[in-house]
């Protein structure tokens, strides 16, 4: 119930539509009730089955008084205008009532469409915003395919299973209340008996619903695993084919798919049980009420009349459809709540890197970057220390290179600067200001990153470069491409800058992709540049072009470079040698070579 109310909170943004829906549904129920109770009394009066009431009855809130008032008004009109004219007038009245009834029904559904789709829109947006705000450490622990499944399959399940029941939630309670009040006026004793029977039925339906929720949760987890396997398969097809690993993955996918099939069958069978189960229980209730009410009518000491009992059963029969809809909606909600919990698990994940609300004014990068006794640990079951008491100062306009064997903490060290992660202890300063006191967007706006794996999007070349500065002109984009040695290959492509590069830029070579990421960084024109092994996966020709572009990019710019190639780092102003999360050596290329230490050994082995 907590999850259901959490989703309904999103409907507050569409309160005007909710109110209109309730109002229109109220009119719909009223006209439904009127159309139901008018026909029999009128036909009794028309065919002389009931004598007309000659005097206006005193008004009171009772069924007999309302019926007598109807007989009096209709009898008076029939006496004045004749039966044929009254019949014609009544036929027009019935048509008008049914027209208004269905008009209000459509108006209610029209308003509910805005609420349903709006809530799902907001839910999907909130989930996407959460994914953008989550720390990188979260994604190293979660399957990407499972997150995609939560965004698509689970949100769609919420729309189908929960949002589709909003109409029931807003309309049917009012319908049931109006009918119950009418029945209460007709026979309080019989109405209380009906309520007891409905309560017992609800307990049985609830037991089945809880089982459905549990199975639905397992099913959505299996679907998430399936999506993950598919995502990994598409992303790794080259390796899968080269290693003939298709059969293994096929078996893995088939086993998971078969498990999902079994769970889905169980879920559907439990959900499909709702309609026949509720119908059987309803008939049992009708039979018991018929027996109990019939006994009251046959009891001469009881005031319940046969005509009233027939009217009671007629109205009670109209109570059955909304009650069945409630039962079906309950089953659907249980299935949707399992998906809602999976979505909430993501949205409730703590945001480790938070925007500081008390930021200081920071306009221009002036002096330098300082790491002071910085330590960092990844927490994944147990704490694993990656950086230990790291300190250094990088003056503005200088180039620092980080070298060391894989796992020495180089990438983690630079990831702390744009606050992809938070240090466990120590602090990082820019111009003597703790970066946690700088607005997060402002901090990241002055940092450019070129990584080993070029991150491009399935869009045009122009839009991929423009991501570096969305306010830039086309001339600025082309200028950045020229600096990155990318303009020539762009112009030789099919549609120039409007060429779509495919998923992750797969229509381009590795060197071309890397030069586009450099062009993007050039367009951003950051004060601080981070190069994370930007040339390590390129061939010699591509490396020369990319290296030339990087030198242009780093000119007069504060740069931190992680590289495996000697050609990239030998001209650094200072080289920091890292080992097991510590800086073990530092100095220029020549100084470190002459010290015959760790750096010298790495150069000899080319194991940066």
Mean pLDDT of 15-33: 86
Domain 368-607 superfamily per CATH:
P-loop containing nucleotide triphosphate hydrolases (3.40.50.300)
- Interatomic CA distance for residues 421 and 109, integer angstroms: 47
Give yes or no for residue 363 having a pLDDT over 80: no
pLDDT score of 484: 84
First to last CA, the chain: 56
Give yes or no for residue 543 having a pLDDT over 70: no
Give the tokens for residue 491: 């112009």
Residue with the two structure tokens 């570096």: 468
pLDDT grade, residue 18 (50/70/90)?
Answer: confident
pLDDT tens figures, 579-601? 989 999 999 888 888 888 888 88
pLDDT score of 44: 65
CA within 13 Å, CB half, 546 = 30
Burial of 232 (0-12, 13-18, 19+ CB in 10 A): middle
Whether the CB-CB separation of 45 and 75 falls below 8 Å is answered with yes
Residue with the two structure tokens 């070029």: 454
pLDDT score of 430: 93
Residue with the two structure tokens 């242009």: 552
Whether the CB-CB separation of 398 and 362 falls below 8 Å is answered with no
Give yes or no for residue 76 having a pLDDT over 70: yes
| Strand order across the 433-434 sheet | 382-395, 368-380, 425-430, 433-434
- What 8-state DSSP symbol labels residue 52? P
Return the ∠ at Cα 606 (arms to 600 and 608), rounded to 5°: 85
Helix (H) or strand (E) holding 335: helix 306-347
pLDDT score of 585: 92
Mean pLDDT of 481-498: 89
Percent of the chain exceeding pLDDT 70 equals 85
Same fold, 1-348 and 368-607: no
- Please give the residue that has the higher pLDDT: either 546 or 462: 462
Mean pLDDT of 204-223: 72
Mean pLDDT of 347-357: 68
Whether the CB-CB separation of 557 and 545 falls below 8 Å is answered with no
pLDDT score of 211: 67
State the CATH architecture for 1-348.
Up-down Bundle (1.20)
- Please give the residue that has the higher pLDDT: either 570 or 379: 570
Average pLDDT, the chain: 80
- Interatomic CA distance for residues 431 and 434, integer angstroms: 8
Domain residue ranges of the chain, discontinuous segments joined by +: 1-348, 368-607
- Please give the residue that has the higher pLDDT: either 258 or 247: 258
Mean pLDDT of 154-164: 79
- Interatomic CA distance for residues 89 and 93, integer angstroms: 6
Short-list 377, 398, 340, 81, CA closest to 217: 340
pLDDT grade, residue 541 (50/70/90)?
Answer: low
pLDDT grade, residue 178 (50/70/90)?
Answer: confident
pLDDT score of 48: 66
């Amino acid at each position: 119930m907590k999850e259901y109310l959490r989703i309904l909170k999103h409907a507050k943004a569409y309160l005007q539509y909710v109110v209109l829906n309730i109002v229109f549904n109220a009119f719909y129920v009223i006209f439904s009730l009127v159309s139901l109770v008018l026909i029999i009394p009128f036909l009794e009066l028309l065919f002389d089955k009931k004598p007309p009431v000659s005097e206006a009855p005193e008004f009171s809130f009772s069924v007999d008084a309302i019926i007598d008032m109807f007989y009096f008004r209709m009898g008076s009109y029939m006496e004045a205008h004749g039966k044929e004219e009254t019949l014609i007038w009544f036929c027009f009245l019935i048509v008008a009532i049914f027209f208004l009834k269905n008009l209000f029904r459509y108006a209610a559904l029209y308003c509910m469409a805005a609420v349903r789709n709006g809530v799902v829109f907001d839910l999907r947006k909130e989930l996407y915003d959460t994914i953008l705000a989550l720390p990188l450490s979260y994604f190293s622990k979660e399957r990407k395919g499972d997150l995609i499944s939560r965004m698509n399959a689970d949100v769609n399940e919420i729309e189908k299973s929960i949002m589709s029941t909003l109409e029931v939630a807003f309309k049917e309670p009012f319908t049931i209340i109006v009918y119950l009040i009418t029945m209460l006026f007709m026979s309080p004793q019989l109405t209380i008996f009906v309520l007891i029977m409905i309560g017992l039925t609800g307990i049985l339906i609830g037991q089945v619903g809880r089982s459905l929720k549990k199975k639905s949760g397992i099913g959505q987890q299996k679907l998430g695993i399936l999506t993950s396997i598919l995502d990994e398969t598409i992303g790794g097809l080259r390796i899968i084919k080269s290693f003939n690993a298709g059969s293994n993955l096929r078996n893995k996918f088939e086993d998971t798919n078969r498990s999902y099939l079994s769970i889905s069958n169980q879920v559907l069978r439990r959900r499909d049980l709702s309609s026949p189960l509720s119908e059987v229980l309803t008939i049992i209730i009708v039979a018991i009420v018929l027996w109990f009410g019939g006994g009251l009518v046959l009891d001469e000491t009881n005031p319940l009349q046969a005509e009233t009992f027939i009217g009671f059963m007629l109205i009670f029969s109209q109570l059955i459809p909304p009650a069945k809809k409630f039962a079906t909606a309950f089953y659907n909600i249980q299935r949707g709540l399992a998906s809602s919990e999976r979505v909430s698990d993501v949205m409730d994940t703590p945001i480790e890197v938070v925007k500081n609300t008390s930021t200081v004014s920071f306009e221009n990068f002036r002096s330098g970057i300082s790491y002071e006794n910085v330590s960092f640990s990844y927490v994944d079951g147990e704490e694993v220390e990656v950086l230990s008491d790291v300190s250094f100062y990088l003056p503005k306009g200088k180039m620092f290179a980080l070298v060391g064997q894989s796992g020495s903490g180089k990438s983690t060290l630079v990831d702390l600067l744009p606050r992809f992660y938070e240090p466990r202890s120590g602090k990082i300063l820019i111009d003597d200001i703790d970066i946690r006191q700088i607005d997060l967007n402002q901090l990241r706006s002055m940092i450019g990153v070129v990584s080993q794996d070029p991150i491009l999007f399935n869009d045009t070349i122009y839009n991929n470069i423009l991501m570096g500065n969305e306010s830039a002109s086309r001339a600025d984009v082309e200028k950045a491409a020229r600096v990155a040695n990318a303009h020539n290959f762009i112009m030789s492509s099919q549609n120039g800058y409007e060429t779509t590069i495919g998923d992750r830029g797969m229509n381009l070579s590795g060197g071309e992709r890397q030069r586009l990421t450099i062009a993007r960084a050039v367009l951003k024109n950051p004060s601080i540049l981070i190069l994370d092994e930007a040339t390590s996966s390129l061939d010699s020709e591509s490396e020369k072009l990319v290296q030339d572009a990087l030198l242009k990019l780093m000119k007069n710019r504060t740069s931190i470079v992680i590289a495996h190639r000697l050609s990239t780092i030998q001209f650094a102003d200072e080289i920091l040698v890292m080992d097991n999360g510590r800086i073990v050596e530092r100095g220029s290329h020549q100084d470190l070579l002459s010290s015959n230490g760790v750096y010298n050994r790495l150069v000899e082995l080319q194991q940066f």
